[in-house]
Amino acid sequence: MSSSTYDPDASQAIVRLAGTSDHDLVAEVLKRDGALVVEGLIGVDAIERLAAELEPHVASRAPGFLSEHDSYFYGRNTKRIQGLAAKSPTYVAEYLLHPLLLHAAEAMLGVHGGDFWLSQAETIFIGPGEPAQILHRDDEGWIHAARLGMDLQVSTLLAVGDYDAEVGATMVIPGSHLWPVDQPFDPSQAVPVELEMGDALIYMGNIVHGGGENKTSDRWRQGLYQAYLLGWLVPEEAVALQLTPEQAGHLPQRARELLGWSNIRSDSDPDQPSAALALWQLDAADLERLEGQFVPRQ
């Protein structure tokens, strides 16, 4: 089913492209369809490293949430672990900074001026017996901006293990990104997007979707969610606060920008390490304390 050429008459509901596809082609399909699958976005080696780094966190986390609302919406038997940049170097190197994803986000969000940053990155491991999630549009979280009709978010669900409709593959209503954000919809129009390990579903925040029902009694649906958001909207996670200044300082400049630890799209002098902290200062004294610890801008 994989194809590296774009056929606008393709009959499949959600187009699937190979991970080696031209990045402009991926952006073109995302713009047109609001969602697509990129097969083999991340290699098996990297996925295995990612899974191993996250495993202790997954093992020690009980499923579900304290609040009734969160358990209802995010799942009673689902494990969502956030703060991934502080937990997994592979997450930062292979997923947050993935060139294809950054290119797609730039194409969709860069047109609104300024940069984008990370809104959220989390495991969405859906446990056996979890009912289907309520279908929704992620952009509803910024409803006033969403009603302006502009693109706010580019999200990705990466398969850490193979997943099919039986185990809770994401349900998507193809074409719903073209509807007004308040338009009611018929859940029966949603189709499952099945993935193999390393494949990714990339989708716009205005497309109707939700986690599928896990009909199995013994398998977990292992997805890793990430969303880039317009740089002038407040992210879902307090991303910058998840990292100490020292942790942030050892990340590449682009990661710092995406994680709220730098002024976005800084054009400042690369030879001035403190320029990386120009916007998000703790106190002027910290600039001196941290100077020299930062990885210089490449």
Ligand X SMILES: O=C(O)CCC(=O)C(=O)O
The site for ligand X (CB under 6 A) is made up of: 74, 124, 133, 138, 157, 170, 209-211, 223
Closest CB 26 distance from ligand X, rounded Å: 20
Spatial separation of the C-alpha atoms in residues 7 and 225, rounded to whole Å: 28
Closer residue to ligand X in complex, CB, 133/266: 133
Residue 100 or residue 208: which is nearer to ligand X going by CB? Answer: 208
Question: Whole-number minimum distance, CB 291 to ligand X, in Å?
Answer: 40
Q: Shortest Cβ distance from residue 172 to ligand X (Å)?
A: 9
Least Cβ distance, residue 156 to ligand X (angstroms): 11
Q: Is 154 helix (H, G, I), strand (E, B) or coil?
A: strand
Of 124 and 290, CB closest to ligand X? 124
38 or 248: CB nearest ligand X: 38
CA–CA gap between residue 139 and residue 194 (Å, rounded): 23
Rounded to an integer, what distance in angstroms lies between the CA atom of residue 256 and that of residue 277?
9
Residues 292 and 273: beta-carbon distance below 8 Å: yes
Residue number, 117 or 220, with CB nearest to ligand X: 220
Q: Measured between alpha carbons, how far is 172 from 191 in angstroms, rounded to an integer? A: 5
Task: Please report how close the Cβ of residue 141 comes to ligand X at its closest, in angstroms.
Answer: 9
The single-letter code of the amino acid at 274 is S
| Helices 99-109 & 23-33 angle (0-180, nearest 10) | 50
- The closest alpha carbon to 58, from 120, 126, 118, belongs to 126
